[in-house]
Structure 1
Amino acid sequence: MKNKMLIIATIVFFLTVNTAYYWQGKIGIFLIPILLILIVVYLGLGVLLLTQMFILISEKFTDKSRLVNVILLAVVLTLTFFYPLGLVDFDTLEGENILIAEREGSANCMVTLKLKDNVTFKRRSVCFSVSENKGDYHLQNDTIYFDNTNLQSHGNEFYEFAVIEPSKFDKDGKNFNLICYSSLTDTVGFELQIIKNEMNTLINKKPSR
């Protein structure tokens, strides 16, 4: 029974880590406590691995079920160590990023906005918790308009449109910013630095949903 419980706990931990892309943006302020719990579980599984290895050696590898536990624990802990964000980059499965803009704030807070080739976008804000917004966008002349935005994790409003402008600080003409506006009356906007721009590849595409 103990062996089965250990195997179940190990598998649940592995699945939780590898599906974090889908759940961490939905739990808000509970993110940090959950991450701390996962760290404690990881360390606990590490202690169990050492214990099981010691017992297995003392038994001269005669217990096959214990051997399975050790192998499973070793594989899961090793993969988690080298791939703490999961084995699969789920972001690439949602479409190719043709524009990426980001802004770093205090305390290493980060806002990232990605426009994908299937005319969808994703905004991700990481600051003691993770919040996400998804939706569609369309181009009209030199303006990017955001449509069908999911507002559940970002209050009751979102950007209405955005424009690309040359950086005010780098005058070499090679650096650009994405200025997002909440409405036509918004004269300040929210500025993000563009780190990838392949918008020229977007031709006559429509939202995928």
Structure 2
Amino acid sequence: MKNKGLLISTIIYFLILTLSYYWEGKLGLITVPFFIVLVIIYLVFSFLLLRQIFLLIKEKFTDKTRLLNCCIIITILILTFSKPLTFLKNYFFMEFAEIDNNNVLVANRYDECTRAETFKLKSDFTFREKNVRFGVSEVIGSYRISNDTIHFENVKRGKQEDILWEFGVIEELEVYTENKYALKLFKNKKDTVGFYYFIGRNDLNIKPTIKPNR
């Protein structure tokens, strides 16, 4: 079969990306370089596909095997177009989430272990918590506001290790550098410590409490 190697390679590429949920969090420091390599491989496949299309036109589409292979490869490349680019965008540009007009609150958190987390409340009363650390995981659900407390409902965990928050409040920090307000999340009513996200955008009409950030 002509071009059998290209077809098999493209199918393997498709399977790697389709099953990325199971492995992207296990590659450690090589996750980002690996996805960059996948983008390069995609470009190589695209170039080889153009060559096959050129040969098809030259043969006036008489080679049915080549035509079938090209159709399969085109379908695979369309289905996998956004996956590696989406991962890299999420990894490097999470801080630009504030641009989305559907967001009513956007809060971020970063640490020294290349971990980036973003918590977004949407205008349709849904929320998304995205965690990027050598991979991407996302918790989604809905929320409601009672007095000055944000309650989370119908929460779906992205990965097993993701924390499910029960409610949160907005706090005005006594000591701060860039972010004056923080979203403090709690796992349950017994949680007295909480977890801070630092707010970059807030369109909610919630009165913040004042607490020292220590």
Query: Normalization by structure 2: what TM-score?
Result: 0.59
Q: Identical aligned pairs, as a percentage? A: 30
Give aligned pairs, total: 182
Please give the secondary structure, in 2, of the residue aligned with 1:101: strand
8 Å Cα contact 1:24/1:130 also seen in 2: no
State the alpha-carbon separation in 1 of the partners of residues 8 and 49 from structure 2: 16
Please give the secondary structure, in 1, of the residue aligned with 2:113: helix
8 Å Cα contact 1:109/1:126 also seen in 2: yes
1:146 aligned residue (140, 148, 152): 152
Alpha-carbon spacing, 1:170–1:44, altered in 2? closer, same or farther (3 Å): closer
Instruction: List gaps (5 residues or longer) in structure 2.
Output: 91-96, 206-214
Match of 1:198 in 2: 203
Higher relative contact order by CA 8 Å / sep ≥ 6: 1 or 2? 1
Displacement after TM superposition at 1:180 (Å): 0.6
Query: Normalization by structure 1: what TM-score?
Result: 0.60
1:169 aligned residue (166, 169, 175): 175
Instruction: List gaps (5 residues or longer) in structure 1.
Output: 201-209
What one-letter code is carried by the residue in structure 2 that aligns with 1:163?
A: V
CA deviations 1:130-186 (Å, max 9, x no partner) are 2221111100111101112124624485211111112333389x7311011112222
Displacement after TM superposition at 1:102 (Å): 1.1
CA deviations 1:6-63 (Å, max 9, x no partner) are 468659858987xx8xx76676635768876655554445556667889999x9x845
8 Å Cα contact 2:32/2:134 also seen in 1: no
Displacement after TM superposition at 1:119 (Å): 0.9
Match of 1:85 in 2: 86
Question: RMSD across aligned C-alpha pairs, in angstroms?
Answer: 4.8
Displacement after TM superposition at 1:192 (Å): 0.6
Match of 1:206 in 2: none
What one-letter code is carried by the residue in structure 2 that aligns with 1:194?
A: I
